[in-house]
Amino acid sequence: SSSSSSSSSEAVPREAARAQHMGGAASQDGELEPEVSDHGSRGGVEDETSAGTSEVNVDTAGEPNAEIDVVALREEAQRHRRKTACTVLNKETGQYEFLSVWAMTPRQMGHLGVGVELYFQFIKQMGFVFLFMALLSLPALLSNFAGSMVEESSMLNRAFGMLSVANLGTCPSSGCQSFAQVQERCAFVLRLPLFYEREEDTCDLRVKDIAEWIGFLDGLAILTFMGFGMFFAHSWIPRIVRETDDANTTPADYTVWIPSLPKYLPDADDHANYPEKLAEHFRQVLRSAARDPIEDPFAVQVVTVVHGYDGAIMQFGEKGNHMQDQENARLLRLRAQAQGKEKSAAKHEKHISGLDDKIRKIEKRLRTQARMTDDTRSVCSAFVTFTHEEYKDRVLDEYRFANHALFKLCQPEGLRFGGQRLNVVKACDPTDLYWENLDYDYRKRMMRKGVIVFFTFLVLVVCSVVIASLESISGDQAPEVLKTTWIVANTPASGSACLSFCSWDLFSSPSCTLDGQSSKTWPTARLFDASGTIADIVELNGECSNPWRLCDNLAGNSSSRAWLGIEFDSAQAVKCMKVRQHSVTSAHELRILSCASGAAPENASVLASWDPAAHCQAMELVYPASAHSSGSLSVVPDTSCATDPASYIEFEVATLAKADSVGSPVGNPSLNCFCRQQASNNLAGFMTPPWSTPAEELCKEWSQEMTMTYLKVGGSVLAITVLNEVLLVIYSYFIAWERLCTVTELAKSQLGKLFLSQFVNTGLLMLLVNANIKQYPSVLAFIKVLSIGEGSYHDMTGQWYTVVGTTLILTVLAKVASSSASPIVMSQVVHPLMERFYSKKKLTQETLNAVYTLPEWNLSLRLAEGMNIIFCVVMYSGGMPILYLVGALYCLTSYWIDKRSLLRGSHRPPAYKEDVVMMSVNMLPVAAFLHTAVAAWTFGNQALLPSDWSTLQPLAESLFGITEARYLEVMESYRMGVMEGLTMDFMRARFLDFSRKGTWLLMLIFLACSVFYIASYLWALVLRPFLSPFAFLSKELILSCARGCAKRCGWSLPPRDTKISVSWEEAKLEMEAKGMTTSYRLADNEKYHAAYKALQHTHSLVKAQTLAKASEAAWAAARWSSEDCASIEIGSTKVEQ
C-alpha cells in the first residue's frame, strides 16, 4: 500500500505504515485512529473487528526506545503464562494459582471443558476395566506359564512365548509323537498329594478339559469391555454433559450460532447495520413465540458477525506475526547499536529488511481485501448472545424444525431473515473457534476433505510399503539342509529292536510330492548300513518278500546299530520322507540324520562301531502312520535344546558341528544349542567382545548373528514408532489444509486419521505382512502390490505367537513408553529449554509472552495414541493375556501423567466438546469385534487349544458353507503338507472351528457384532436420511397430543423452563475470574491478537492512503498564490499550504 514514487502524496501513509509496524498509528498531522465500534453494554451489538489496537511506546523519531526494563517484561510474561495456564484467579491476592494435581478430580475439571473432563474419566475407568479383564484371564495366563511347549533359540522370543497360548500344555517325556497326542496333551500336573510318588507322565488335567473354561472366561472379559463401552457412551457421557453444563457457566450457555446468513441485505444502510438488524430479528422471534412469548427489549446482549474475508484471516495472522518479529528486531538493533556491536546491528537490520519484504508480499496478496471495509463485506455467519440462558433455549426451540432439511423448506416467514431460511444451533465455546476458517466456502471445504481422504489413503499405502519392505519377521524356521549322506535310524522308544524296510524314499518337496526331485532321480553313490555296503538299492516290492533288515539290542546302549544310510553323488536338500516297513518288525518312531561328505566311513569294520548320532546332524523324530504306509514324514532339523547342565552338548561335538556347517550358525541345531546353553548364565558377557574363552570364540559368529536378530527386532519396533511420529507431522499439515471451523472438528479429524494410521502400522500390518496368503478375494487383489501376504504363516500357530507376538508386545511397550513420556518431556524439559534460549532475544511484551506461554495439550493426539494401544491390547489379548496388564498400566499411568502435564505444564486447552471422547468410545465395539475374530481363530486352532465340537456346529456349517467331512479333508491336507498358504477353503475350515466348545461364546459375540455392524451401516447410510425426519415429526406429534389432552382434562403441566439463570453480565464476571474467554470477537481471542493487529494495520494503511489521494486531488484542483495562505478541510483532517 505504501509503494509509490510520489514523496509528497505518500508521506502520510509511509509514516502511518512505519508507526503501524511498531503498533502505533501516528501520522505527520495527527493520529489516525482505526475503525472502532463502541456499543453499549446492554442491548448493544458489535462487529468481530471492534476493539482497540495494542500500543507500543515510541520516541519522537518514531523509533522504539532502546532502554527497556527486561525484568518487568519477564515478570509480566510470567504472569501472562499463569493467566493462560490451567489456573484460577485468587481474588484476595490477585494472583493466578495452579490447580492441585493430586486433589483435583476429573469432575472438578469441568470448567476446562467437558471433553477434557470426559477424557480423564474414560482413561481412568478404562484402566480399571483392563484390570478386571486381567483378573478374568488370570487362569489362562497361569496355565500358559505352566506349560512347556515353546522351543525357541531366541531367549527373548521364548520369554514372551511362555506367557502366550503357544506354551499351553505339556507333552509326555518322549514328546508328542502324533497330532493326536498334541490334542491330548496335559495341561498341568497337580502336585497333591505329596506323600506318595507320582508315576512319570501322569496328567491330572488335559488341555481339552480346560479349553472351554479358558474360552468362556475370555468371552466374559470381552463382554465386560463391550458393556463398559455401551455404559460410558449411552449413560455416563450424557449425564456428565448435563451435570457439567449445570455446574459450569460458559459463553455457549447464552449463545446461538447461525451458520448461514444472507450475504448481503437489499438495502445498503441495512447491510451496514447488519448486527442491529439481526438482533432485532431475534427479539421479534422471542416476542412472537408460539408459547410463552418473551417481551424484553434487551433480550439480545451481543451480536458478533463473521464477515467474509475469503479465508484471508490466516494471512493477516501471518502478517501480524511478522510485524511482531519486526518490532522485536528493531529493539535488538537499537540495543546492539548502543552496545557498539555493529555486526550484530547490521544482522538485525538485514532481518528487518527481510521481514519488511515478507509483509509487502502479504499486503500485495491482500490488496483486494485491504480495499474493502466491513460495511461492504459479505456476511457468512453470526453469534448471538442473549441476556438469559432461557432466551437462548427458547430460540433453539423455535428453530428446532430447521435441523431437518425437509422441514426447513416450510420454515415460516417470521423465522426467516432477509428472506433466507435460517438454521440456528447452540454455539460452541469461543476458544473452540477457528476464525480463519469460518468464512471459508463450504463447497471448497468439502472438496478439500475429499482430497485429504485420498491423500490419507495414499499415506497408508506408503506406510504399508515401507513396513512390508522390512524383512518379514520369522522365528526358527527350518533351514534348508544340504548334505550328501542321509540316515534313518531306530530309537529306544520305537517299540522294536529291528528295522525292516520294504522301501525308503526321500523327497525335496515338503509334502513328498513328485513336483520336486526324489532319491529315485538323484545319482546315488552307495547304500550302506552298520554291516557294510549293500549291493542293491532297496526297491518297493509288491509283497515285500525280501526286505532290508537289521536288528540290535538297544537295552543299555546309547546308540543303535539298526540304521540305514544312503550317500548321493552331490549334496541334496531332503524335506520329506516316505517309508514302508515289514509288518512283523515295524518301528513306531524313527530318527533322521544328515551327514557331511566323508563323515560316514567306507570301511565295513569301522562302520560296525560308527555312531551316526555323534557325527551327523539330527532331524526331528518322525512317527510312521502304519507299517504299510508311513505317510508323508517331514524332515526338519531338531531344534530342541536341553536345559539340564548334565545334558549339555560337549565342546568337541559343537566344534565338529561348526566345521560341518555351511550355512547360518543359528541354523545349525547342534552349534545353536551349544551356544544357547553356554550363554544361558551370562548372555551379555558371552555375546559381546572380547571373545576370550574357547566357547566364546567358537560361538563368535552365532553371537554376532543373534545380536543382529535382536537389532532387527528393535529396529522394526523403532521404525514403527518413528513412522507414527512422522505421520503426526504429516497429518497436522493435512488437517490444517482442510480448513475446519472448530477445534473440536479438527480434533475429531485428527483423532480419526492418526488412530487409523497408527493402528494400521502397529496392529494390522504386523499381522498381514507375516501372513502367507495364497488366495485373495477379487476386490483385494491390489494388496499383492504392497507385498502383503508373502510372509511365513498361514495360521496363528505357536510359532506365530512366540515370534510375531513378541515383536507385537515390544512394539506396544515401546508405544506405551513414548506416549507416556512425551507430555512430560515436552512440558518439563523441552519447553523450559526453549524458554531459556529464546527469551534472551525477545524484547517486546508480545514476543516474550509467546515464548513464556506453555505448550498446547493436544486432546486428539492423546486419544489417538491411547485408542491405538487399547485396540492392539484388546485385539491380541486372547492369545496373549499379559496384554491386559500392559493396557491397565498404560491407562492408569497416562491418567496421572496427562493430569500433571495439563495442570502444571500446558496452556489452557480449548473448551472441547464431548464429541471427541464420544467418537473414541464409539470405536470400542470395533475393538471387541476384532478380539472375537482373532481369539476365536486362535482358540479354534486344535494344536493350541484342542476342544470338541459344540452344539453350534450345525449353525456354523450353514453359515460358513463347509461340512465336517470337508473340514477334515482340508485340515489333513495342510497337516500333511499337500496344501500350504492361506486359501479360501482353509479360511472356511478355520471359521468352522469357531463352533468348538472352547470358542462357542466368542462365536456368538462375533455373530452378534457382525449383525450389529450390518444393521448400523444400513441405518446410517440408507434408512436414517429418509426416516429421521419422520421419527422427529412423530415425537413432536406425540408431545403435542399429550399437551392437548392435558389441557382439555384440566391437568397442569410444569413450566417449559423451570430453571432461572443469572444474567449475562453476572455470568461474565464469574467466567473472567476463572480465566475463561467470554467474547466471540476476533479481537478478544488471544490466539488471534497478531491477526487482529495486522487487520487494523491494514485498515489504517488504506485509510491513510485514501486520505493522501484525496489531499493530492484537492491540491491539484486548487491554485494558490505564494502570498496566500489558506486551508481546506477534507473529512476531519486539515491540509494546509
Name the pLDDT band for 132 (thresholds 50, 70, 90): very high
Tell me the H-state helices in 85-154: 114-136, 138-146
Q: What percent of the chain has pLDDT over 90?
A: 23
Kindly report the average pLDDT of the chain as a whole number.
Answer: 80
Name the pLDDT band for 698 (thresholds 50, 70, 90): confident
Q: Average of pLDDT values for 982-1009?
A: 92
Name the pLDDT band for 286 (thresholds 50, 70, 90): very high
Residue 174: per-residue pLDDT = 61
Q: If 0-12 CB within 10 Å is exposed, 13-18 middle and 19+ buried, where does residue 410 land?
A: exposed
Name the pLDDT band for 1077 (thresholds 50, 70, 90): confident
Residue 49: per-residue pLDDT = 36
Residue 694: per-residue pLDDT = 86
Residue 177: per-residue pLDDT = 64
Res 1060 pLDDT > 90: no
Q: How far apart are CA 62 and CA 863, in angstroms?
A: 50
Enter the DSSP assignment of 518.
B
Top mean pLDDT of 707-711, 723-727, 889-893 is at: 889-893
Q: Between vectors from CA 1098 to CA 1094 and to CA 1104, what angle results, nearest 5°?
A: 140
Res 513 pLDDT > 60: yes
Q: Average of pLDDT values for 313-320?
A: 86
Res 710 pLDDT > 70: yes
Of the listed ranges 340-354, 803-817, 982-996, 1017-1031, the one predicted with least confidence: 1017-1031
Q: How far apart are CA 160 and CA 145, in angstroms?
A: 10
Name the pLDDT band for 1121 (thresholds 50, 70, 90): very low
Name the pLDDT band for 59 (thresholds 50, 70, 90): very low
Q: What percent of the chain has pLDDT over 70?
A: 83
Cβ-contact 549, 587 below 8 angstroms? no
Name the pLDDT band for 22 (thresholds 50, 70, 90): very low
Using alpha carbons, select from 917, 901, 918 the residue that is nearest to residue 909.
Answer: 901
Using alpha carbons, select from 429, 259, 325 the residue that is nearest to residue 910.
Answer: 429
Res 665 pLDDT > 80: no
Q: What is the pTM of this model?
A: 0.76
Res 1008 pLDDT > 90: yes
Cβ-contact 749, 735 below 8 angstroms? yes
Top mean pLDDT of 198-212, 375-389, 644-658, 821-835 is at: 375-389
Residue 423: per-residue pLDDT = 92
**Comparison of pLDDT for 397 and 539, the residue scoring more:** 397
**Comparison of pLDDT for 957 and 291, the residue scoring more:** 957
Res 869 pLDDT > 90: yes
Residue 192: per-residue pLDDT = 43
Res 123 pLDDT > 90: yes
Cβ-contact 259, 420 below 8 angstroms? no
Of the listed ranges 381-385, 887-891, 974-978, 1017-1021, the one predicted with least confidence: 974-978
Q: Between vectors from CA 424 to CA 418 and to CA 430, what angle results, nearest 5°?
A: 110
Q: How many CB atoms lie within 10 A of CB 596?
A: 20
Using alpha carbons, select from 54, 48, 215, 456 the residue that is nearest to residue 1006.
Answer: 215
Residue 677: per-residue pLDDT = 82
- 448 CB-near residues (< 8 Å, 6+ apart): 737, 738, 739
Cα dist from 345 to 66, 334, 337, 341, 1131, whole Å: 13, 7, 6, 6, 42
Residue 821: per-residue pLDDT = 82
SS3 176: coil
Amino acid, res. 1044? G
Residue 781: per-residue pLDDT = 63
Name the pLDDT band for 402 (thresholds 50, 70, 90): confident
Sheet of strand 633-634: strand arrangement? 548-551, 498-507, 576-581, 633-634
Of the listed ranges 106-115, 189-198, 199-208, the one predicted with least confidence: 189-198
The string of pLDDT tens digits covering residues 754-789 is 898 889 888 888 888 888 887 766 666 666 666 677
Name the pLDDT band for 27 (thresholds 50, 70, 90): very low
Res 953 pLDDT > 90: yes
The string of pLDDT tens digits covering residues 457-508 is 888 777 777 766 655 444 444 456 778 899 998 887 777 888 888 888 898 8
Name the pLDDT band for 627 (thresholds 50, 70, 90): low
Tell me if the bond preceding 823 is cis, omega within 30° of 0: no
- 797 CB-near residues (< 8 Å, 6+ apart): 166, 941, 943, 944
Residue 874: per-residue pLDDT = 96
Q: Average of pLDDT values for 10-28?
A: 34
Q: How far apart are CA 347 and CA 1004, in angstroms?
A: 73
Q: Average of pLDDT values for 256-271?
A: 90
Using alpha carbons, select from 856, 855, 857, 867 the residue that is nearest to residue 753.
Answer: 867
